[in-house]
């Protein structure tokens, strides 16, 4: 691991040096890093400075401590990596509803295309169970907003798992967390307007697209299934805006 000696902004520069070493390939996933003493000597900093940098990298999901063996570079995508991204996007998005909507569209379109590529026919068929459950909730005499929303979520979570890509699944789940209020409002508005069957049919079409592996239809259908409030608070398909 080739890391140059540093003197200022020590903690951040140690972190930057680790990042550069990972990018260059001189430090690899699963590899053990030097001890705190060795790092402090290498960088010419106090031991507590090296310790602080390690703590930050552990919190970020880049390093993991295996007592009593030592500290190692993590292998693959880890859960702690999600939180900085989640809060970074939330804090940086301001009031941009449309930007968040775009992010949701990109992620769900990508998820569907990945499912088409990676999932077998029998696996895609497992989506029928959450789809039926959503239909039952939508067709009750007085559909429950919370029940429909929960079953809508279950459908999409099942679909995400079919991507067979842990990074896609975790990032998609993060985007769904970020868009929770947006999605809940869409369901609420549609049910209040008596459009529960329309909501179900949109999901049924998504299922058919996956079964048919109709890549061309993915883009059009994802956009047409978004319902957002206009200035009069009426839910309309995004394609009509």
Answer whether 2's CB lies under 8 Å from 21's CB: yes
Nearest of 4, 53, 63 to residue 31 by alpha carbon: 63
Answer whether 100's CB lies under 8 Å from 179's CB: yes
**pLDDT tens figures, 50-101:** 999 998 888 878 898 998 899 999 886 665 565 565 556 556 555 566 777 7
pTM summary value = 0.64
Name which residue leads in pLDDT, 220 or 74: 74
Question: Following DSSP, what letter does each residue of 132-145 receive, concatenated?
Answer: HHHHHHHTSSS--H
81-240 has the same fold as 10-76: no
Where are the domains positioned within the chain? 10-76, 81-240
pLDDT over threshold 70, residue 171: yes
CATH topology for 10-76 is Arc Repressor Mutant, subunit A (1.10.10)
- 81-240 has which CATH code? 1.20.120.530
């Amino acid at each position: 691991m080739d890391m140059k000696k540093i003197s200022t902004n020590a903690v951040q520069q140690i972190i930057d040096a680790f990042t550069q070493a990972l990018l260059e390939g001189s430090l690899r996933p699963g590899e053990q890093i030097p001890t705190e003493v060795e790092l402090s000597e290498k960088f010419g900093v106090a031991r507590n400075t090296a310790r602080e940098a390690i703590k930050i990298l552990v919190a970020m999901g880049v390093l993991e401590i295996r007592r009593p063996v030592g500290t190692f570079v993590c292998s693959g995508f880890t859960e702690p990596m999600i939180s900085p991204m989640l809060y970074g996007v939330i804090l940086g998005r301001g009031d941009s509803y449309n930007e968040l909507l775009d992010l949701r569209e990109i992620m769900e379109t990508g998820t569907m295309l990945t499912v088409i590529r990676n999932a077998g026919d029998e696996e895609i068929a497992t989506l029928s169970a959450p789809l039926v459950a959503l239909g039952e909730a939508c067709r009750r005499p007085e559909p429950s907003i919370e029940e429909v929303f929960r079953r809508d979520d279950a459908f999409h979570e099942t679909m995400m798992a079919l991507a067979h890509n842990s990074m896609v699944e975790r990032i998609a789940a993060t985007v769904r967390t970020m868009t929770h209020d947006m999605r809940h409002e869409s369901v609420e508005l549609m049910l209040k307007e008596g459009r529960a069957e329309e909501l179900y049919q949109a999901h049924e079409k998504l299922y058919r697209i996956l079964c048919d592996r109709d890549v061309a239809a993915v883009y059009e259908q994802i956009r047409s299934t978004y319902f957002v409030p206009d200035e009069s608070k009426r839910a309309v398909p995004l394609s009509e805006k």
